[in-house]
Amino acid sequence: MVFVGRTDLLDLIDKLVEVPARDATRTPKSVLVVEGCGGSGRTAVLEQAMDKWHGHTPSVLVRPLARPFDENDPVRTVLAAVMLGLSVDIPGYAVAFPRLVIAQIVIAEDFDGLSPGEQLARLKTLLSRYQSRAALIGFVRHLGDMVGVMAGTVNVPGAAVIAPTMVNLAAEAMASRLLGGGWLRGRRWGPDTAWFSHQDLHLPHDAERVLIELSHNARSTDPAIRRGVDDVLVGALLADLRASVTKVKRRTSNALVLIDDGDAPAAASFTSALLRVRESIAATGVRLSDPLTVVTTSSGTLVDNLAGQVPAPAVWSAPLEPARMATAGPLWARVRLPELSERDVRLMAKEVDPYQSERIGESVYRLTRGHPAATDRLLRRIKQDRDQLDDLDGLLRSPGPEPGITVEQYLLRIFGRGLSVNKLVRRELATALVTISAARSKSEALGLVPLLPAGVEHDSPLFKSRTLWTPATPDGEEKLPALARLLGLRALIDRNDGQDWGRVLSQLRDGVAPDDRQSRLHHMRLLDGRDAVVDELADLLPTLPSPEWLQLFDDIVETPDPGRRDSDLIDGPDRARSLHEHLATLVALVPAFESDIRITSPEQKSTLCTRIAHSYEKVADDARDSAPFLLRANRYRRLANQFQ
């Protein structure tokens, strides 16, 4: 499907890459963390940015999950993939990484068991060996064989397909720039090696001893030592980039590193090291150019995992202001990916049918509420079989893209994968997600912990995720995405084990605070049907202010009943005469029209809107103020006309 929306975010990324030719040495651009739940389109945003900048500036899209993380492996895979990807030839750029290559060569060697003199002799022999073009190309190719699959571009069959070609190109380019520029030839202990003595921090170390210790410490599993190694390596990366771009005339863009799945340990290590190094350089008071822009994605855990290591990030909220934010200068910032708008979904639907895109987009948006992965999946299915547009319920129950599961199970798993750093579906979290879908908010969901599988406690990723739970308003309660709730409720109504529909709704109802009338009536309706709430609504109608009553009503009916126990009123004729009957009609028909995916035909929607409008008009006669009810009635009258 065509990529739509997120234009302000893509513009922000562009502004973070762009630099004014007259002042390319200004302070580093903020590291941008793009946060979103499973299926929110984080990867697609990075691919769009890569598609634009690839070929125009040194750029690489790193996928750390393409290679399993091994803390016993001294090679920093993300850093190596960054070096490899940025080494591909770009017109006007000649990026070389002499310091980083020295570090990688040294890390690959084991100096343990040697005396200090023998270590120094081994180091000299080692570096001399790689004066040979063939040896250097061989080393880079070997490194690329390990990490090349992590560094890719877009619009290709897959990173694994292009990696060998890119590795060969990068190895040849790297050797030409390093050896052709005289690297290690006649200046074996020149500025590149000498950098390890000061590391741009005015340090007084011996460069040779630092390199030997780098090899030893790179094998450590001690977190603090690993961070120290990461800092040295990332500092070398920045120094190499700084030296490379000084040769570029009127540079107008930074090198761009895009990291997908930035919560992965290897990716988080790279990001945290970059932030620490930049903070350390700034503390020296020396103004150094920093020609690197980094954008990474996260489910929200990256910020939590780096707490205490680096300052908290700035929070950039919609509406984004790319021009101002790109020059604001915080060390790093996080921004949340919004859902697609209905307009975005209608635009995507044009790929299905340019003449019916409005109807297709409206129906799909009504189901997905703009969740990108679900929207894309459903539109593709509808494109294959147009009849499924009129049977979205059947589409959800049809076989999904993975063996043995339905489409709706597959979509629910997308949310579950978003809770795992490795994108794995944990059975206990998937089960718990279905259970808590009945809760109106996170605070209610926490009351269901006693019903959840063992191991899913209050501190579980299910509750800690900052992207799975979001407030509808700045000061509102955190809620699950509408699609996750819908899919979870559909699974819950079909569950026949001990934690079934009745048990979960009863637990929620019994846990409601005495003054929380909205939640109590909401759960009573889903548990016992419309008759459980109509009498109380009738009693409150003449006593509550009309806006307050309408807000209470909206809260009660905000969740569609997946069991469809109101089908007698939804599908039957309009026989309402009394106040209680009109209230029952509203309790049944409003959520059906607003959320029931089984209602798809314009004729049925028009009929429902007409009946809803009529009942609002009748209920207005018994309200304290009829005007708000009549305004609603008018709205549904207009909708009824639109669907005719």
The model's confidence at residue 182, banded by pLDDT at 50, 70 and 90, is very low
Closest CA to 149 of 71, 62, 86, 87: 62
Q: What is the average pLDDT value for the chain, to the nearest integer?
A: 88
How much is the pLDDT for 271? 96
Judged on CB neighbours under 10 Å (0-12, 13-18, 19+), 476 is exposed
Closest CA to 330 of 385, 282, 298, 390: 282
| The token pair that represents 445 in the structure block | 């969901």
Residues forming beta bridges with residue 284, ordered by sequence position:
none
Cis amide leading into 319 (omega within 30)? yes
In angstroms, the CA 599 to CA 570 distance is: 10
Domain boundaries, the chain: 7-336, 342-397, 410-511, 519-644
How much is the pLDDT for 160? 40
How much is the pLDDT for 234? 96
Reported as a single tens digit per residue, the pLDDT across 119-141 is: 999 998 888 887 777 777 777 77
pTM for this model (two decimals): 0.89
Instruction: Please enumerate in sequence order all residues whose Cβ is within 8 A of that of 46, keeping only pairs 6 or more positions apart, or say none.
Output: 34, 61, 258, 259, 260, 295, 297
Residue 630 near residue 617, CB atoms below 8 Å? yes
Reported as a single tens digit per residue, the pLDDT across 434-483 is: 999 999 999 999 999 999 999 899 999 999 998 999 887 778 889 999 99
pLDDT exceeds 90 at position 488: yes
Q: Rounded mean pLDDT of 341-345?
A: 94
Q: Furthest-apart CA pair in the chain: how many Å?
A: 100
Instruction: Please enumerate in sequence order all residues whose Cβ is within 8 A of that of 190, keeping only pairs 6 or more positions apart, or say none.
Output: 184
Helix/strand/coil percent split, the chain, to 5? 55, 5, 35
- How many other C-beta atoms lie within 10 A of the C-beta of residue 274? 27
pLDDT exceeds 60 at position 157: no
Residue 67 near residue 146, CB atoms below 8 Å? yes
Instruction: Please enumerate in sequence order all residues whose Cβ is within 8 A of that of 567, keeping only pairs 6 or more positions apart, or say none.
Output: none
Please report how the helices 531-540 and 546-556 are oriented relative to each other, as an axis angle in degrees rounded to 10: 170
pLDDT exceeds 60 at position 267: yes
pLDDT exceeds 60 at position 152: no
Reported as a single tens digit per residue, the pLDDT across 200-241 is: 999 999 999 999 999 999 988 899 999 999 999 999 999 999
**To which H or E segment does residue 533 belong?**
helix 531-540
pLDDT exceeds 80 at position 404: yes
Q: How much of the chain, in percent, has pLDDT values that exceed 70?
A: 91
In angstroms, the CA 251 to CA 244 distance is: 11
In angstroms, the CA 435 to CA 437 distance is: 6
